[in-house]
Structure 1
């Protein structure tokens, strides 16, 4: 288990460039299973979760050639479905939640798929009902071995259908769409997720010959085709990293330029940080964060305390709520952070309280933050990263804190952020990996 050693309280200066979007990468890499032809994907973040998914595909017989850093060529002409029954696959897939998205492509092209109960972050219940309910609507037969926690699904031929999803699941929508592109007839998916990740997946599938309309909305119409061809695709900048870097600049009172952010795909992320009083300026496709020594949280028009909560796109992504919470600890004013989707994601606040933050954990979903207005700095302490997003939030807190901190279990951070210590060192952060 690796550890970050951090000497906090230092102002940073310079520029950072976000990596490719992790959540998009996991989807589009699974989509290569839909064709026998070459698929080239650029701007792949070489983080542990993505590299693990590529290893799973290799085990299935997919050729994966690393052309250069971040660019891979895939060919799934010779897939070995029997790999799904091996102990190696079971271990790999069980530790990676994103592996659930191989089910849709495998079902569409080969008529069957198997997967153990997905792992990933320990942030509360993350059910996969939407995935399998949608695939059943397309005519698949689903079984679950409760004793061994193993899912299996099969269908001789999928048939298009209308479905109203019970939740706007991003990965669920991706799985269903990837299955529907090769189904007979037309599939209509209402209450579909419309995050940029899903939009990018749909655009990639269209470039492969799929027929999809309604991209960017919550109503997708997919007309099945006989086969898909190869394509080239470039992954968007990671909006979660962009938001993390905005929060880093604010907490460390730094002037930081975030380069090539894909601004048109950031939604309300910059505006939400501005509600905390942070000055975020857009210069072409760059974001400049400056004058962050003091920032004041807005109130609602009637004077009541503002709340920041997650919501399906185009609402605020839940993956940034941990960062917003940390940033609020040094603001002037108070804010209610409402994490609606996952009931365990706010439990890391006990470490922030140990560091001197004023936070009231109301319940598993809500926390009230009373900003310190930099009158008192956070104190360095020993911490453990519980998941990817809480891990980066704790790292930001440590970099702003007075004194030294250590963060254990940083493999969780590595799952979502590539070479984060190296990139932060280049702008003046005192951080080492042990």
Structure 2
């Protein structure tokens, strides 16, 4: 099992450039299935999850060419439907949660699709009802093959309809949008997710000839078209990686500049760190985090303890709560971290407690953190990464701890962060990778 060995307690200094957005890349690669013409996508993060999806669509018959680092051309002119009956398809699709988003394009183009129950992080229940209820509103039928763990969907013709989503699911919204752009008539999606990833998907589809309005809101109107053409699309910087670097700077008391972050698409992330007392300065399109020996958590106006919680966009992304929790362990003051969406994402705190953090896990969704104001440094220890976001939080903790730590199962971190060890070593970290 691959592992990192980290010598912590070092101050870092320098500039970091975030990769392209993982969650956006997974969506727009699936969107390339909607046309037989060439689609070129740039600023693609070459991380495990994205590369697995590229391998999956390549197996389906999509012609894929790597033009340069982070730049790929896709041409879905000859899909091989026999591939969906193979063990190779099942094994690749089941290992990746993003694989569910091939279903919308397949329904739109070919009237049928099959996908095994997808994998991904083990962070609690991650139901798929929103996807299939949306497909049903467009006129599709589906069945679940419990024996083989596969979802199958069919549609003679997709027709536009009004729908109120039961939850603002990002992947569910993306899947329904991709099915609806080629449906007959007008589709209205209320309670749609409106994260930057969804906005980017809609802008890309419009550049391909789709007619989507209401972008950046939770009410989307899609006028179906008969055909889409090719396009060129660039992924946004990954806001989760940007937030991870802010947390890293605070925990290691380092001076870091995060370059070309697309500040307007970061939402509440910089302000949420500021509430923990972390200085975040905007310099053109860069974020500068100066070296801070101490940072103090703000209370609410009435004096009550600060709560940091996730919410659908434009609320705070759940993917950064693990990082906020780690940063709070060395702040001055206390904070309640409330992870509303996933009931297993906070269970990694036992590893932080072993390192000397003062955390009370109230229940699967809430943890109270009593900050130590850098007066009691975290201790080095041996850890295993349970998922992508807990993994990066543990890496940040290890980099701030005194001594030598090890993190096993780092494939989880590699799923979301491209060459993280190389990037951080370049600004002064000491991370060794062992295969």
Q: TM-score range by the shorter chain?
A: over 0.9
Q: Which residue of structure 1 aligns with residue 399 of structure 2? A: 399
1:181 aligns with 181
For 2:178 and 2:92, how far apart are their aligned partners in 1?
22
1:369-423: CA deviation from partner (whole Å, max 9, x where unpaired) = 0000011000000000000000000000000001110000000000000000000
2:277 is equivalent to residue 277 of structure 1 = yes
Distance 1:237 1:212 in 2: 23
Aligned pair 1:26/2:26, yes or no? yes
Q: Does 1:92 align with 2:92?
A: yes
Q: What's the counterpart of residue 227 of structure 1? A: 227
Shift of 1:85: 1.3
Within 1, Cα distance between the matches of 2:73 and 2:264? 27
Shift of 1:147: 2.3
Aligned counterpart, 1:134: 134
Indicate the residue corresponding to 1:355 in structure 2: 355
Answering whether residue 430 of structure 2 is matched by residue 433 of structure 1, we say no
Give 1:291 shift: 3.1
**Other-structure match for 2:415:** 415
Deviations, residues 239-281 of structure 1 (Å, cap 9, x unaligned): 0000000000000000000000011100010000000000000
Partner of 1:336: 336
Mapping of residues 300-379 of structure 1, within 5 Å: 300-379=300-379
Report the counterpart of residue 191 of structure 2 in structure 1: 191
1:289-321 per-residue CA deviation (whole Å, 9 max, x = no partner) reads 013210000001111100000000000000000
Mapped to 2, the partners of 1:82 and 1:155 lie a distance apart of: 19
Distance across 2 between alignment mates of 1:300 and 1:217: 28
Whole-angstrom distance in 1 between the partners of 2:382 and 2:28: 38
CA distance in 2 between partners of 1:40 and 1:264 (Å): 24
SS in 2 for 1:291: coil
1:288 alignment partner in structure 2:
288
- Give the structure 2 partner of residue 60 of structure 1: 60
User: Partners in 2 of 1:191 and 1:312 — Cα distance?
Assistant: 10
Task: Determine the C-alpha separation between the residues in 1 that align with 2:183 and 2:84.
Answer: 22
**Cα displacement (A) at 1:207:** 0.1
Aligned counterparts of 2:156 and 2:300: Cα–Cα separation in 1? 56
Quote the residue 2:77 is aligned against. 77
Q: Using the alignment, how far apart are the partners of 2:145 and 2:67 within structure 1? A: 40
> In the aligned structure 2, how far is the partner of 1:333 from the partner of 1:39?
50
Cα deviation for residue 208 of structure 1 reads 0.1
- Structure 1 CA distance for aligned equivalents of residues 204 and 118 of structure 2: 25
User: For 2:255 and 2:270, how far apart are their aligned partners in 1?
Assistant: 16
Q: Could you tell me how far 1:81 is from its partner in structure 2? A: 1.8
Q: Which runs of 4+ in 1 moved over 6 A?
A: none
CA distance in 2, matches of 1:201, 1:265: 14
Question: How far apart, in 1, do the equivalents of 2:373 and 2:389 lie?
Answer: 24
Contact 2:249–2:291 (8 Å) recurs in 1: no
Query: What is the deviation of 1:65?
Result: 0.2
User: What is the RMSD computed on CA atoms of the aligned residues?
Assistant: 0.5
Distance 1:339 1:131 in 2: 23
Deviation at 1:134, TM superposition (A): 0.2
The alpha-carbon deviation at position 324 of structure 1 amounts to 0.1
Distance 1:228 1:83 in 2: 24
Question: How far, CA to CA, are the matches of 1:64 and 1:281 in structure 2?
Answer: 40
Q: Deviations over 1:21-44 (max 9, x none)?
A: 000000000000000000000000
User: Equivalent residues in 2 for 1:139-150 (5 A)?
Assistant: 139-150=139-150
Q: Give the C-alpha shift of residue 146 in structure 1.
A: 1.7
Q: Distance in 2 between matches of 1:174 and 1:205?
A: 11
Aligned partner of 1:238 in structure 2 is 238
- SS of 2:61's partner is coil
CA contact (8 A) 2:111 2:156 kept: yes
- Residues 10-49 of structure 1: matches in 2 within 5 Å? 10-49=10-49
Q: Deviations over 1:38-75 (max 9, x none)?
A: 00000000000000000000001000100000000110
TM-score normalized with structure 2 length: 0.99
Q: Where does structure 2 lack aligned partners over 5 or more consecutive residues?
A: none
2:261 alignment partner in structure 1: 261
Helix, strand or coil at the partner of 1:294: coil
Structure 1 gap ranges (5+): none
